[in-house]
């Protein structure tokens, strides 16, 4: 173990109990707010649901379930290849397009871009259908009352008093803000920062410093990735703890009841994702790079 890692351990031993302690205090604080009359009335005025748009659609159409599944599926590959780029380990192969002036890419960077294109296309289809169908009304607030209601819903989650949530009809204010931000801000920003870092960005549009610099784009891309991963962890935790059968029926079976159908479809989607994750490893990626008529140079095993 390196010295640096050895020194890291006592810090963790302190940090983990400190973080748990702080979390415990926050939970107690949130619970107290429900007891004190002045603050308790806030939750009556703002129960956690924002005023919806007139004509907000009800339920989950099949295209929404499919694009939601493909998003999670593709993100497995996007995140794995992104973290491998960041690890700076030597890639098992290098890929160069057969075109004048093409840049040589490590296998992980090449694969990251391949899955990014699919991920961004799926996102674009989802965005267009959101607009056409009116489903965007479920993700964009109609009224400023979304702010106090989101604070209220957040405190209710923190107090482990699950706020009223009827995702079939409308999301609570905190879900609405988080989903809307993820779909309309974080996703598109990941694409913009990613395109800036990719070989298709013309060199003459780059600058040594400022928003057009490599350093800025890399930092922005990294923090958006951190946000998306943290969002996913929290999102899936809440889906599983706040009425899992009904939630999974909404997204995976297009129905609003407590049967096991959605859970079954979800289980199949997990198996499909895991099998694909194992099959589409570096060897298959290298083969795909060759089949796509690139010049591929394999490195001898380290």
Q: How far apart are CA 53 and CA 135, in angstroms?
A: 11
Per CB under 6 A, 194 contacts ligand HEM? yes
Q: Which is nearer to ligand HEM, 72 or 158 (CB)?
A: 72
Tokens of 21: 């302690």
Q: Which is nearer to ligand HEM, 43 or 108 (CB)?
A: 108
With CB under 6 A as the contact rule, which of the stretches 16-24, 65-73, 152-160, 294-302 interacts with ligand HEM?
A: 65-73
Q: Which of residues 69-108 bind ligand HEM (CB under 6 A)?
A: 71-72, 75, 78-79, 82-83, 85-86
Q: What's the min distance (Å) between Cβ of 83 and ligand HEM?
A: 5
Tokens of 14: 């302190």
Per CB under 6 A, 177 contacts ligand HEM? no
Per CB under 6 A, 213 contacts ligand HEM? no
Q: Which of residues 32-51 bind ligand HEM (CB under 6 A)?
A: none
Q: What's the min distance (Å) between Cβ of 251 and ligand HEM?
A: 4
Per CB under 6 A, 267 contacts ligand HEM? no
Q: Which is nearer to ligand HEM, 51 or 67 (CB)?
A: 67
With CB under 6 A as the contact rule, which of the stretches 2-10, 34-42, 151-159, 248-256 interacts with ligand HEM?
A: 248-256
Per CB under 6 A, 170 contacts ligand HEM? no
What SS3 string covers 163-211?
A: CCCECCCECCHHHHHHHHHHHHHHHHHHHHHHHHHCCCCCHHHCCCCCC
Instruction: Show the CA angle centred on residue 297, arms to residues 291 and 299, nearest 5°.
Output: 125
Tokens of 139: 């993700």
Q: How far apart are CA 126 and CA 191, in angstroms?
A: 15
Q: What's the min distance (Å) between Cβ of 180 and ligand HEM?
A: 8
Strands of the chain, DSSP E: 93-96, 104-106, 295-298
Residue of 127, 141, 172, 136 lying closest to 154 (CA atoms): 172
Q: Is 297 helix (H, G, I), strand (E, B) or coil?
A: strand
- Burial class of residue 119 (count of CB atoms within 10 Å of its CB; 0-12, 13-18, 19+): buried
Per CB under 6 A, 68 contacts ligand HEM? yes
| Binding-site ranges for ligand HEM (CB under 6 A) | 64, 68, 71-72, 75, 78-79, 82-83, 85-86, 109, 112, 116, 120, 135, 138-139, 165, 167, 179, 182-183, 190-191, 194-195, 197-198, 218, 221-222, 225, 228, 231-232, 235-236, 239, 247-248, 250-251, 266
């Amino acid at each position: 173990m390196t010295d640096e890692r050895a020194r890291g351990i006592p810090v963790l031993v302190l940090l983990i109990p400190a973080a748990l302690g702080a979390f415990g205090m926050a939970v107690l604080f949130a619970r107290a707010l429900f007891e004190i009359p002045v603050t308790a009335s806030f939750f009556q005025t703002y129960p956690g649901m924002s005023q919806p748009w007139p004509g907000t659609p009800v339920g989950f159409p099949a295209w929404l379930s499919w694009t939601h599944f493909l998003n999670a599926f593709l993100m497995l590959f996007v995140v794995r290849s992104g973290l491998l780029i960041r690890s700076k380990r030597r890639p098992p192969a290098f890929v160069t397009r057969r075109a004048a002036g093409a840049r040589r890419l490590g296998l992980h960077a090449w694969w990251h871009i391949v899955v990014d294109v699919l991920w961004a296309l799926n996102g674009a289809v989802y965005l267009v259908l959101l607009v056409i169908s009116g489903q965007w009304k479920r993700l964009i607030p109609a009224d400023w009352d979304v702010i106090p209601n989101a604070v209220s819903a957040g405190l209710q989650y923190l107090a482990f008093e699950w706020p009223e949530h009827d995702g079939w009809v409308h999301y609570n204010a905190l879900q609405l803000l988080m989903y809307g931000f993820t779909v309309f801000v974080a996703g598109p920003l990941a694409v913009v920062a990613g395109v800036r870092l990719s070989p298709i960005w013309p060199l003459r549009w780059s600058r040594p410093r400022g928003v057009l610099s490599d350093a800025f784009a890399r930092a922005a891309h990294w923090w958006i990735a951190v946000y998306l991963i943290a969002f996913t962890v929290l999102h899936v935790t809440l889906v599983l703890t706040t009425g899992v059968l009904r939630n999974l029926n909404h997204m995976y079976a297009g129905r609003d009841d407590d049967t096991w159908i959605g859970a079954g479809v979800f289980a199949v989607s997990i198996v499909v994702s895991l099998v694909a994750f194992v099959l589409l490893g570096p060897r298959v990626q290298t083969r795909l790079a060759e089949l796509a008529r690139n010049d591929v140079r394999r490195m001898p095993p380290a």
